[in-house]
Structure 1
């Protein structure tokens, strides 16, 4: 059984907490302001709680760690994404620590006391491996898997974490390192099969949900297309009938010599409303969007604004190709941005929603602008979940956009509020 001095134990405890919070911060991303201050507070809190409670019951510090992080970083209730991230990051940390200890075991097997050099070497190896794991997580969209997970993934993570913590506990109590290695190997094999099965089921369910949502959106958009075409066809038939009668009247007036400028102007105004209008003008620009779901979704939004008598301007003069951003994520971002603009104009009772879409060889850009009621609050206030300037509104729109944009390293959403409130969605083309 290895022994460790109190001084080395405290240094190791502090170092492990710092390494874990570095890894957790990398995984969770820029979720809150003052991340450094929050993490320093959490490190100090968990350091002293471990020192005070460790000898009484070793599982309590881990429970305090998880609960304290959840309280400090929570954005919704319940926040499964945060809970899953905390649990899985802790599992990865414990798993990595065990692997590193197994790796260095042959070199320290004859030692009785672990010194600061051995502990520092172990922690440095853990840090390097965790950084490599972070880059793998980012490459394979770890955030998407965790974000799609719900309480099922949380329960599974708690189960695995309890098993890992139990290995640490019994290893420290009995001092039988070989038993830990043997037990860990058996555990790893069984849990690997179990976890892979659960994740396959989870991912398949997520894909099925996403496909069902896309199909529903496609059907809704198709209905809007059909309804609008039917309405246009009815108006065209009516105009064709009226046009014949008006032309007969004009011919008769010409023969009688009674035709005048007022009659021609009336005819011009009557015919213009059938040949002009936002929807008709926008159809050509919508054809430049290659993704049929985004095209249909934007068409639906334009029709809704027309029916709600919301003035708008839409422009898309360049071809907009499909990007690596998931279609349903783009629809959520664009939809939230347009909905916020429409709600603001509805409250003000005046103004125009302006939508401009552009693409070149390097980037795509979606710009949505609207007038707004100025106040003294910072834009970041409204990005925090639950905050809003709209009475009776949940305030989750901008926070949802922020949450989605954090999933992609080439997607950026910027807000500005000067003369107009602007939402700029930029995609760096890969």
Structure 2
């Protein structure tokens, strides 16, 4: 009897270890095999054969062992799957032996349990790639949560079944109950993923609508600017002739007055300067983020100036456009937030933005904004969590630094002249390798 029990524990431990490494795809190094295998073999013995307690302690150990590993989520998910499989194997074995009335026949008992273990191995071998992919996806937390639910429900079912008077009716009930739990967990996961996809799709649609509105504003600005330029050209000759007569008569005051009035009425309108120089940016993603942030500044009544004197048609080849867009977006958001604070305090706010690119492909971007009276340390602003604003995560500039670290040809500098904060970015063109 002891020999059979020991053999079954050996088979069970090997199976658990195989399932863990198969699903998690973590390297089965000698160290991992010795430590994790030792835990899987020793804990059932130390727990006096109480399978539920041994499995629970195994899960806790695996979580602790991989707590600092990059593969932590894979390890947690895989060991939970091991726990669920163990619980289902125990339940099905107990129910099947009860229905077949072979509990007291040792070798038939062993045969049933080994058969169910082999069936579990076969199923895992078919589906392990899918299980691992679920642990790698962005919604892995949802999957792990459902595994926890499935582990707890099957374990409690096993404990409750062991405490009740076993008979055929109860066996059928628990068999159906376990199957319902599995189906419920799978259906819940699928539904949660569908809901998440729907919300993501809605979010993407909202962003698309927002971008479309910003592009419509930009298109309207171009049309209005064209109309204003056409009207200016139309009125120019009449105005010039009128001023010419006044000048010939020596009425210089009238000339100056009319020029001043015309300038204020036609050349200083804020809307006329709303997207000045944006047409020089030919990179769509960069142009879109600039338009979005200028639109936000305009709507928030923040004084700003955008300058892009040269056409920007390309970026250095190794630069990911998304990374550059993130940097521009974060730097603009910081400037806008600080400007809002100044406006709330009835102080003057202003933002200066410059973008430039030369024939060599060098790209420059600078944004300078007025700031409050608080002192800022260049060393501090590079640290995670630092912020001069209350209730703010302060991760923006730290995120910029993490992006910058990906590129050797990207340089970022910060300056804090009195009353201002200055952010300056330079991306050098990649040096072409000599053949």
**What is the TM-score of this pair, normalised by structure 2?**
0.49
**What is the TM-score of this pair, normalised by structure 1?**
0.50
Structure 1 or 2, whichever has the larger Rg, is 2
**Greater relative contact order, per chain length (Cα 8 Å cut-off, separation 6+):** 1
